[in-house]
Structure 1
């Protein structure tokens, strides 16, 4: 009974928040039966550190958000470091319930009128297998919300959960015939046996693969390497994200973002929501 009461309270709170969020351009778009146009290449790194987790990213029309989780006494708590853990900041309270409320309000999608799922990248900070099993249990309560894999087939939902972080999560995921999440691969997974139905995302550390940080032109060999990586991933129906790219506002960051766009990288990683939104708007003109 206590569990049901807590779920009802979270649902009510999330619905109230989703209903009152002021989204730029939303009123005008709503008249046309569509919500604000999402930006498909956006990824909110450490999204939970913004003043309004998830909601700030959605206001800036992001289509991918990242949440770090810790398994603490049966609860999945969201934080970057253990010192920041707060029992009120659960994955359900910050992400699952608000997303469910938003999808209900928008008749089946996160952005009204747009059916492409957004990505919830869940970075596991505690032991991977145990944390994933609890996460899997919680995601099953939201089957209607998430893209699912069942017996070799993928059914697209409003949100696609991708599991990153502690690599011990991989084994229990590979053993499942039915799951509500997918696995975050690395560059070494390109060309590997695991299909895109298991690792639809390939992410890796930019600084471990490229020396160029945006000053001057990108070396020709590194430009070719970047484009080869993206082409290989896309041939396998996988998306690409690099973390640890330059993220201080200025010409170097813009130069790197420009090369990522030109190479058709799927997700641009940033902590600066407004900065990436403005950059993409400017480059669409």
Structure 2
């Protein structure tokens, strides 16, 4: 859900990818860059990223490794917003994400986070009908194909950004029909153990509240802890990553306890609207 302005201010006040290789100029330059630039927080996922004052840029300033953009197909434009009433013709996928990412990758010599290997995950949530919205998205991504991890004829070629398509499930059919694409599909827990390979479904996402009763208060039931770890192990055994949305996000002990259990289970992405809060948590635990 989109945050209200009041809640966002409260979070700001109270708050403290697919890994892909890109071409490097040499090991010495890489070591030098790492010494100058803070390590990225690859586990950090900016939920509803476009609701922040500076979409994409605020998350990157907090070193996040994943950002989420909701898109609506309006005519031939892809507009970024959570709800139709918030649509603004000036807030396109290109203006908020694709153009800034292209400029950043050029400036950083092929990387999103300067001096660090890795692929930023761009989770694109389709809010309008999936097949038509995806086909328009595919046309846009092809214009920026140098940016994106690409699937071509059975092989995956890593890029500085990995687009993962979520939201409306009707996108799946046109994506599966492609022999070349610049995006991947966000699976659900029902996709675990199916024939869909990581080269199509690299990410398994699901609603925490529909699968677990624990909200971070009191002890984590052992049966639920084992369920969580079984999910992660099953995904990792197939080369897939795991993310849960709808986890507690108000600053406090409950959120920290739940984040701690996610980290202990090796969940790949922690979902938040509170950029500084998750950054502080991961830094305090020396986690990337």
TM-score (norm 1): 0.88
Which of 51, 66, 69 is matched with 2:68 structurally?
66
Relative to structure 1, is the Cα distance of residues 130 and 38 closer, same or farther in structure 2, using a 3 angstrom cutoff? same
**Greater relative contact order structure (CA < 8 Å, 6+ sep):** 2
Distance (whole Å) between structure 1 residues aligned to residue 59 and residue 230 of structure 2: 30
**Off by >4 Å, runs of 4+ in structure 1:** none
Please give the residue correspondences for 1:83-98 in structure 2 after superposition, counting only pairs within 5 Å.
83-98=85-100
Mean Cα deviation higher: 85-94 or 108-117: 108-117
* 2: CA distance, partners of 1:45 / 1:250: 18
Q: Specify which of 110, 113, 134 is matched with residue 111 of structure 1.
A: 113
- For residue 33 of structure 1, report the CA deviation from its aligned partner: 2.6
Structure 2 residue aligned with 1:125:
127
Deviations along 1:103-125, one digit per CA (max 9) or x if unpaired, are: 00000010112121010000000
Which digits, 9 at most, give the CA deviation of each residue in 1:152-203, with x for residues without a partner? 0000000000000000000000000000000000011111001000000000
Deviation at 1:36, TM superposition (A): 2.8
Q: TM-score, normalised by structure 2?
A: 0.87
Unaligned runs of 5+ residues in structure 2 are 1-29
Unaligned residue ranges in structure 1 (runs of 5+): 1-29
CA distance in structure 1 between the partners assigned to 2:58 and 2:32 by the alignment = 23
Say if 2:33 and 2:116, in contact at 8 Å, map to a contact too: no
In structure 2, distance between residues paired with 1:103 and 1:238: 25
Q: How is 1:195-274 mapped onto 2 (pairs within 5 angstroms)?
A: 195-274=197-276
Once the two structures are superposed, what CA deviation does each residue of 1:81-111 show, in whole Å capped at 9, x if it has no partner?
0000000000000000000000000000101
Give 1:32 shift: 3.7
Deviation at 1:229, TM superposition (A): 0.3
1:270-285 to 2 correspondences below 5 Å? 270-284=272-286
Partner of 2:7: none
The equivalent of 1:10 in structure 2 is none
Work out the CA distance in 1 between the residues paired with 2:158 and 2:31.
27
Mapping of residues 29-40 of structure 1, within 5 Å: 32-34=32-34, 35-40=37-42
Deviation for aligned residue 1:31: 11
Distance in 1, matches of 2:105 and 2:42, equals 18
Partner residue in 2 for 1:79: 81
How many matched pairs?
256
SS, match of residue 156 in structure 2 = strand
